[in-house]
Amino acid sequence: QQQVKQSPQSLIVQKGGISIINCAYENTAFDYFPWYQQFPGKGPALLIAIRPDVSEKKEGRFTISFNKSAKQFSLHIMDSQPGDSATYFCAASRGSTLGRLYFGRGTQLTVWP
Amino acid sequence: SQTIHQWPATLVQPVGSPLSLECTVEGTSNPNLYWYRQAAGRGLQLLFYSVGIGQISSEVPQNLSASRPQDRQFILSSKKLLLSDSGFYLCAWSVGTATEAFFGQGTRLTVV
């Protein structure tokens, strides 16, 4: 059973546009929600993360929006660049489980120049 | 700084052959260690995790096993590989109660 559902599966955005990836979860015990960026043939790298006590977190061009009541969170990439082309994974974990992550299936982002 | 090493980067093995993938972490003590598998279109699935030497927990039943013979060494093994074991295997680590997990570069395993 997929504990974190991610959409869309693929996304094509023009350079300078906004990329939006959405995730939803069911387990209300989750209390940590990271996003990972993965380039082909490489391991995922932590991009940005949020905890449910805040509704938004911004780091540079990357913003996580979190809706606790709807059990949804999303990644916004502002001013998308060709170098942002990668696969993005959302994930969730419980603080009591020491970093064990439940991942979405990933979104392949392509940014056209 | 902490680094994680995983090898080999790619591996092609025949069905029924054994498997041993190794992961080591440098720059930290007593890390929590994880093995994930990434199948095409299915995201990353946690296979095993370990909070200390000799302590292994399995998340899903499968044809694989894991061992942690040293504090910073995590090994993924199989006695007889199946075609369905093909995938991208990733080792990861975290420290203490921190929830951030950091990944190695992965091993692409193809079972033929």
The answer to whether residue B31 neighbours chain A at the CB level (below 8 Å) is no
Whether residue A71 has pLDDT greater than 60 = yes
Nearest by Cα to B21 from B110, B106, B95: B106
From the CA of A95, how many Å to the nearest CA of chain B?
6
Whether residue A20 has pLDDT greater than 70 = yes
Using a 10 angstrom Cβ sphere, with 0-12 exposed, 13-18 middle and 19 or more buried, the burial of residue A2 is middle
Whether residue A81 has pLDDT greater than 70 = yes
Q: What is the pLDDT of residue B80?
A: 96
Q: What is the pLDDT of residue B65?
A: 96
At B82, the amino acid letter reads L
Q: Which residues of chain B have pLDDT under 50?
A: none
Range 17-76 of A in CB contact (< 8 A) with B: 32, 34, 36, 41-46, 49
Range 41-100 of B in CB contact (< 8 A) with A: 41-46, 49, 51, 59, 90, 92, 94, 96-100
CA distance A86 to B47: 24
The average pLDDT across A34-58 equals 93
Say if residues A71 and A26 touch (Cβ distance below 8 Å): yes
Residue with tokens 């979405």: A104
Q: What is the pLDDT of residue B59?
A: 84
The average pLDDT across A69-87 equals 97
